[in-house]
Structure 1
Amino acid sequence: MKVLVFYVNSFEYTPNQKSLDIAPDCPTATTIINDAILAFIHAEPSDQDENLKSRDKKLANHLKWCCRKNNTTNVIIHSFAHLAEAKADWEFTQNLLNQCDIRLKNGGFVTHQTPFGHFLDLKIDAPGHSLARLWKTL
């Protein structure tokens, strides 16, 4: 699994078009989230060979660490299948993100998931300081 994390002052997204035919329709309104960790998450085929619970726990722990380093409890979970050449099945990826979301909420974090299976128009306001941008292989 590859994870690219930004601390954002603000993040805006507007659904543009479906990237996955089975994705449900979603409102086209713009969503704005402030003071958050924005995680671009790419699940790989090798992640499917491991226990889902171990993978979502590892992801959640990394995101909690990023939050602590940036003094926030807000997390934006975004599926981003462009950080490696091979990707996991969409069903696995969606389950991974949903389980991570639940784990974070149970830990007292405020979570937001971007619409799965949609291309989004994005606006990102990210400061340029240490630990505001992190990349990790989990």
Structure 2
Amino acid sequence: MKVLVFYTKRFAYKTAEQNLTDEELKVFYPDTAAIKHQDEHKDCITAFIQVEAEDEERDLKSREKKLANHLKWVARKNNTNDILLHSFAHLSASKASLQFTSRLFDATKKRLNNGDYNASQTPFGFFLDLDMEAPGFSMARVWGDL
């Protein structure tokens, strides 16, 4: 799993182009009306996450724990409790299935929320228009190969 984490003063997105079929999208969103097509987050950790095929060979719980611990560490270093998960399939040539990635994101989000963090995620199945304000200091950008 590859993770590129930014501390963002502001991170906003808007869905631009759907890249899954309507049937595939319903796997992740049985009620497609529940898809948040745009949102804005302030003073948060924004994690660009590439789940790799090798991650599927490992236990989901171990992957979720590793990811959550990494994100909590970065959040503490940046004095925030808000964490946004963003599936970003451009950090590695290796890609896990959408189903595994979705399950990993859901489990990680649940673990973070149970640990007094405010975790959310961008929608699967869409390319997004992004508007991001990220300050330039050492811990504002952290790369991880988990």
Amino acid at match of 1:38: T
User: How many angstroms apart in 1 are the aligned matches of 2:36 and 2:123?
Assistant: 10
> TM-score normalized by structure 2?
0.91
Structure 1 stretch displaced more, 17-26 or 55-64? 17-26
Match runs of 1:14-93 below 5 Å: 14-21=14-21, 22-23=24-25, 24=29, 25=32, 26-28=35-37, 30-93=38-101
Flag the structure with higher helix content: 2
Instruction: Using structure 1 for the length normalisation, give the TM-score.
Output: 0.96
Pairs aligned (count):
137
- Which residue is equivalent to 1:114? 122
Please give the alpha-carbon distance, in whole angstroms, between the structure 2 residues aligned to 1:105 and 1:82.
27
Q: Shift in Å at residue 78 of structure 1?
A: 0.5
Cα separation, 2, equivalents of 1:103 and 1:57 = 8
Secondary structure at 1:76's aligned position in 2? strand
Between the aligned residues of both structures, percent identity stands at: 49
- CA-based RMSD: 1.0
3-state DSSP of counterpart to 2:138: coil
Mark the runs of 5 or more structure 2 residues left unpaired by the alignment: none
Partner of 1:4: 4
1:117 to partner: Cα distance:
1.4
Runs of 4+ residues deviating >4 angstroms: none
